[in-house]
Amino acid sequence: MWKVTGGTCLLLVLLLCASCHDALSFTDGLLPNGNFEQGPKASQMKGTRVIGGPDAIPKWGISGVIEYIKSGQKQGDMLLVVPEGSFAVRLGNEASIKQRVKVAKGTFYSLTFIAARTCGQEEKLNVSVWPNSEPKDWGILPIQTTYSSDGWDAYAWGFLAESDEIEVSIQNPGVEEDAACGPLIDSVALKALSSPRRTRVNMLKNGNFEEGPYVFPNTTWGVLVPSNVEDDHSPLPGWMVESLKAVKYIDSLHYAVPEGLRAVELMAGKESAIAQVVKTKPGKLYDLTFTVGDAGDSCQGSLMVEAFAGTVTLQVPFESKGRGAFKRAKLRFKAVGPRTRVRFLSTFYTMKSDNSGSLCGPVIDDVSLVGVRHPRLA
């Protein structure tokens, strides 16, 4: 029989902790110092510029011209507003921030971060993950269009983790005359996403949009799913963003959501569209049902959603008072091929009635596709 002493117990605990360390992986929430509240030492700063080396900002690796911005700081006549907490970082020409994170290999993740442009009118961000063999595990996200009235937007980007430890990087690839000009970054978070499946009661994946990117609990902007995102790498699993502009992922804590906890707002007219391809049987009838409404975000006036299923189109008008009402709609169609593309877009641009100049549009939720078994009785 073994005799376990106090020292042996301590050794066993340490060994167990060491062996389980790799099994513990990041799930949901801010990255360590993801909101940049822990900043450089005074000796590592020259004005707002970080000069203390690649690890001057705790938990982050930095390169290039990085500025550490305090809330309320001014740039000329412009007041720089920090969305969460008291500090953010600004990326100069070709500057980047990066962090190594332990994750679950083979798991799909969504990266969410908050960004705002400052000097430039066409600023972009290069988001990437290393090590990954997939060429699509990097992306250029345009941030020149501001959708919120606060000047800040949250963006989501998806990737498949090909290693137990990854390096997440956000870079400003632009070159401005002023090397200190560049976008502000704050609140970087990760969320592990499950792969939704089709069911007997719904042929569409993630038809209720419950699976999606991390939404910051203390912000009211929702999360932008960027344009031209394919389903394999979409932070909105099952859905592609088939448009030049982003769509907004919203939650029930800050918006009116017709069903469940999440929904999608189409903010940029025909330039803001989502789609999904589903297997169908040629000649068979199908019913596509969905909910159209408003997010209760002062988006008043005449809204309209266009739904497409193969070659069939349905326009669903909705007169919004901006208070969160909604209605159901149904599109019946006959499949003409083994695959059918289901697509939704907003017919035109709309602005909020609060004089903020922010884009808004109809909400889509609770999307379902089923085969019609008995057409005469349906």
What is the rounded CA–CA span in Å between residue 77 and residue 74? 7
CATH 2.60.120.260, the chain: domain bounds: 203-378
What is the rounded CA–CA span in Å between residue 246 and residue 284? 33
Give the CATH number of domain 24-193. Answer: 2.60.120.200
What is the rounded CA–CA span in Å between residue 360 and residue 248? 9
What is the rounded CA–CA span in Å between residue 18 and residue 94? 38
What is the rounded CA–CA span in Å between residue 365 and residue 214? 18
- Based on its alpha-carbon atoms, the radius of gyration of the chain, rounded to whole angstroms, reads 23
- Residue pair 84/150 in contact (Cβ under 8 Å)? The answer is no
DSSP string computed for 273-295: EEEEEEE--TT-EEEEEEEEE--
Residue 24 in this model has a pLDDT that exceeds 70: no
Give the CATH number of domain 203-378. Answer: 2.60.120.260
The two tokens of residue 345 are: 């877009």
* Rounded mean pLDDT, 167-190: 86
CATH 2.60.120.200, the chain: domain bounds: 24-193
pLDDT of residue 231: 65
Cα torsion 188, 51, 126, 254 to 10°: value is: 30
pTM: 0.88
pLDDT of residue 203: 97
* Rounded mean pLDDT, 45-56: 92
- Residue pair 88/36 in contact (Cβ under 8 Å)? The answer is yes
Residue 14 in this model has a pLDDT that exceeds 60: no
pLDDT of residue 354: 79
- Residue pair 165/15 in contact (Cβ under 8 Å)? The answer is no
pLDDT of residue 206: 96
